[in-house]
Amino acid sequence: MAQITLTITGATYVVGCKDGEEGHVQYLSQEVERRLNTVRSQLAPSSESHALFLTALLLADEIQDLRAGQMTDESVKAIEQARLIIEERSRQHERLHQVADLAENLLSQLDEDASKLA
């Protein structure tokens, strides 16, 4: 088991994690810090513990929304982008089939023309 030292709001914490997950845990720590900064700037908490509480509450709300099947705007946009990419790839795939069919027809025509000349 690996250990990683994280700093959030100036406090240092040693956290255990599976070997190889240090980067992921570090990312999670940075995400908490980012959200804390957002809470501080947008909600003006009265203290650091109040900011931590509000951040935890907002994270719990987001988890609840995800469990309930609700998606964030960011998730909806990502899914829409993926859908557009899939549609474009499907159109490209269809065009490739059309080109392949055309090439096959041309080759057949060339074979017929060559047979007539021979």
Q: Give the pLDDT confidence of 20-49 residue by residue, as tens digits.
A: 999 999 999 999 999 999 999 998 889 989
Give the 3-state secondary structure of residue 56: helix
- CB-based contacts of 58, cutoff 8 Å, min separation 6: 35, 39
What is the value of pTM for the model shown? 0.55
Give the pLDDT band of residue 14 (cuts 50, 70, 90): very high
pLDDT of residue 21: 94
**What local confidence, expressed as pLDDT, does residue 2 receive?**
93
pLDDT at 68: 80
* pLDDT of 20: 94
Our measurement of the distance from residue 63's CA atom to the centroid of its chain's CA atoms, rounded to an integer in Å, reads 16
What percentage of the chain has pLDDT greater than the value 90? 55
Rounded CA separation 102/110 (Å): 12
CA end-to-end distance (rounded Å), the chain: 77
Domain boundaries, the chain: 1-70, 72-118
User: DSSP class of residue 44?
Assistant: -
What pLDDT does 84 receive? 86
Q: What is the pLDDT of residues 92-107, one digit of tens each?
A: 988 998 999 999 999 9
HSE-up (13 A, CA, CB side) for residue 23: 1
